[in-house]
A = this chain, B = another copy of it.
Amino acid sequence: MNAWPAGNNQALPFADWMRAVQLRTEASLSRLLPPAEAIPARLHQAMRYASLDGGKRIRPLLAFAAGELNNGSPERLEIVACAVEMIHAYSLVHDDLPCMDDDILRRGRPTCHVEYDESTALLVGDSLQALAFELLARAESGTESGNESARDAGRTARQLEMIRLLAHASGSCGMAGGQAIDLGATGQSLNLPELELMHALKTGALIRAAVMLGALCGDALSDEAGAALDRFAKRAGLLFQVVDDILDCTASTATLGKTAGKDAEAGKPTYVSLLGLQAAREFADDLSAQALAALAFFGDRSQRLIELTHFITHRKF
């Protein structure tokens, strides 16, 4: 399926919807990244290498699914999805560097610094981060016609809120902060609340941002709806990480497309090392139930988020 489903796509089977969002994200990323031949060409090629043709695109899927709660326009959602995905891609490139996790395999291919070199990989991450914010600050595609200043004020205020949310989720009080805690925790024993804080920052913050930014592409949400969505996003972010920990010790490198068993080998605390495999699975089921409970507020409009929650819970890679 190449074309974006026109009109109401709620009738699409989940697998087809997911594939459509993934293809649209891929096409949008390719369009929004600088062309491979633009100077400096090697850097731009490496940015495309690190961003295109890979990954489950969980964050774009969450953004599009959240956008369906309140009629988010696909043109805005694709910008938001790409911005969040670029932040995610940059974080992977930097996390894989020798001074961090020192990994050579990502998405089934050599990591960016292996394929190119360390300095290029460093600049790839730096540039992808800048581009994510540049995209969100650009005049949005697909905005309504008309020049009413009130509408303009609302639109630009939303864009600023998106940038604020994404920047906060990426920085030292979000993703980068979680990574710092992770590095400090290697070989240490964390208790469950400490582990949860680390993951709430390292993975959870960006997943939550994907959901909230997706919702900001549509009609305004009531405070109550915003709170329900935020509850969902927090649970879903943690769920994603718990499942990641389970897969890290149960799936193969070939299936994951990244080095399996790394965390245990590196002496990193995980939900499996803390709880054991069985209890970690039960915890994932609990989180899944809590995430779904938060969505009850939205009824049918949250169909895709419900399906995504099941997908995240039961994913095999």
Contacts and interface: CB of A to CB of B under 8 A. Distances in A.
5 contacts: A40-B181, A43-B172, A122-B122, A130-B174, A156-B159
B164 A137 contact: yes
Contacts of A130: 129, 167-168, 170-172, 174, 176
B43 A180 contact: yes
A187 to B, nearest CB: 14
Given A129-B130, A133-B167, A137-B167, A97 B123 contact: no
A90 B161 CA distance: 24
Nearest to A125: B126
B94 A126 contact: yes
Contacts of A161: 137
A156 B149 contact: no
A285 to B, nearest CB: 29
Decide if the interface of chain A is mainly helix, strand, loop or mixed.
helix
A246 to B, nearest CB: 25
A192 interface: no
A277 interface: no
Contacts of A122: 94, 97, 99-100, 122
Given A97-B99, A126-B171, A127-B172, 18 more contacts: A34-B172, A39-B181, A42-B180, A99-B99, A99-B119, A125-B126, A126-B129, A126-B170, A126-B176, A127-B171, A127-B176, A130-B171, A130-B172, A134-B163, A136-B163, A137-B164, A149-B149, A153-B153
Contacts of A34: 172-173
Contacts of A184: 40, 42
Contacts of A138: 164
Nearest to A179: B123
A160 B137 contact: yes
Interface footprint category on A? 35 or more
A157 interface: yes
Contacts of A106: none
B119 A183 contact: yes
Nearest to A140: B160
A313 B119 CA distance: 31
A30 interface: no
A16 interface: no
Nearest to A130: B171
Contacts of A23: none
Given A118-B99, A120-B180, A134 B168 contact: yes
Interface string A4-43: 0000000000000000000000000000001000111011
Nearest to A183: B119
Contacts of A117: 99
Interface in A127-162: 127, 129-131, 133-134, 136-138, 149-150, 152-153, 156-157, 159-161
Most buried by B among A118, A129, A131: A129
